């Protein structure tokens, strides 16, 4: 059993749910706006020509920032040890050590790339395994479905998202958190997977609270995706009976 594929937009499931619950509100599987279910077909026809383009479940790897800072600190420590233990007054040591100094630029470039969201993470589904590949594909987290579903507010420490706001950060309160979007946590605790989204998808208005619980505000996420990808993941969970439309 290998369905749905990661490119699934949720269109088929959305149509099935809309037919079964015409009065419910559902997210459009293409643009993620909230709609009355009975209007879904009309919206798909007029706004999207009844087509849902293939959707790769790819987003920003939000854990690469920490990994890059770790790499930078480790590089500085190693270079420090090397420099301290070598006698740089001797020409021989200088020719040995100095060529390695530019190594420090590797984690610096990583840090800049992480801050601008260049590192990507990917979610895929195979059978009952939901996989998150991140940290340049080196790390994988697997959540077995069915899993607990938690939804909450995603916050961000001001100035953390991009280094370009670093100068602003110097003039604001340290560690001030601001609300930037929503997170969906699948699975509990450290083994869980936290999917963040800045676009409003109306999760609480669409899905019966029997299938999910409200979680506390959380700083950051594992992967940050665009609205239609979060909606596609919601429909994948609905297809498996883990979420059902709100009918109240
Ligand atoms: Zn739409």
Looking at residue 74, its pLDDT comes to 93
Q: Which two tokens stand for residue 107?
A: 């984690």
Distance from Cα 30 to the centre of ligand 1, integer Å: 5
Q: Are 243 and 19 in contact (CB under 8 A)?
A: no
Looking at residue 242, its pLDDT comes to 97
Looking at residue 72, its pLDDT comes to 92
Q: What ranges do the domains of the chain cover?
A: 11-57+147-239, 66-114
How far is it, in rounded angstroms, from Cα 38 to Cα 99? 67
| pLDDT tens-digit profile, the chain (248 residues) | 334 443 467 999 999 999 999 999 999 999 999 999 999 999 999 999 988 888 999 999 999 999 999 999 999 898 888 878 777 667 777 777 777 778 888 999 999 999 999 999 999 999 999 999 998 888 999 999 999 999 999 999 876 555 444 444 444 455 688 999 999 999 988 889 999 999 999 999 999 999 999 999 999 999 999 999 999 999 999 999 999 999 88
Looking at residue 158, its pLDDT comes to 75
Distance from Cα 42 to the centre of ligand 1, integer Å: 10
Distance from Cα 204 to the centre of ligand 1, integer Å: 18
Distance from Cα 19 to the centre of ligand 1, integer Å: 17
Looking at residue 175, its pLDDT comes to 66
Distance from Cα 49 to the centre of ligand 1, integer Å: 10
Looking at residue 108, its pLDDT comes to 92
In sequence order, what E strands does the chain have?
Answer: 25-27, 34-36, 58-61, 120-126, 129-134, 139-144, 149-157, 177-186, 193-197, 213-214, 218-219, 223-225
């Amino acid at each position: 059993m290998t369905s749905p594929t990661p490119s699934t937009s949720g269109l088929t499931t959305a149509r099935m749910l809309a037919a079964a619950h015409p009065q419910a509100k559902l997210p459009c599987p293409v643009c993620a706006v909230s709609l009355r279910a009975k209007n879904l077909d009309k919206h798909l026809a007029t706004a999207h020509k009844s087509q849902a383009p293939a959707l790769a479940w790819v987003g920003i790897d939000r854990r690469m920032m920490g990994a890059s800072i770790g790499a930078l600190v480790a590089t500085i420590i190693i270079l420090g040890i090397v420099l301290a233990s070598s006698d740089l007054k001797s020409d021989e040591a200088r020719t040995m050590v100095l060529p390695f100094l530019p190594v420090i630029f590797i984690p610096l470039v990583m840090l800049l790339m992480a801050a601008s969201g260049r590192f990507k993470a990917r979610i895929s589904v195979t059978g009952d395994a939901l996989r998150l590949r991140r940290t340049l594909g080196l790390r994988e987290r697997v959540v077995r479905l069915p899993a607990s579903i938690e939804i909450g507010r995603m916050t961000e420490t001001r100035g953390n998202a991009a280094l370009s706001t670093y100068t602003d950060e110097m003039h604001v309160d340290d560690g001030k958190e601001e609300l930037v979007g929503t997170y969906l946590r699948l699975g509990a605790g450290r083994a869980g997977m936290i999917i963040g989204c800045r676009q409003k998808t109306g999760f609480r208005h669409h899905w019966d609270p029997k299938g999910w619980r409200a979680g506390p505000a959380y700083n950051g996420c594992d992967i940050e995706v665009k609205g239609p990808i979060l909606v596609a993941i919601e429909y994948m969970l609905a297809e498996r009976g883990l979420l059902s439309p709100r009918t109240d």
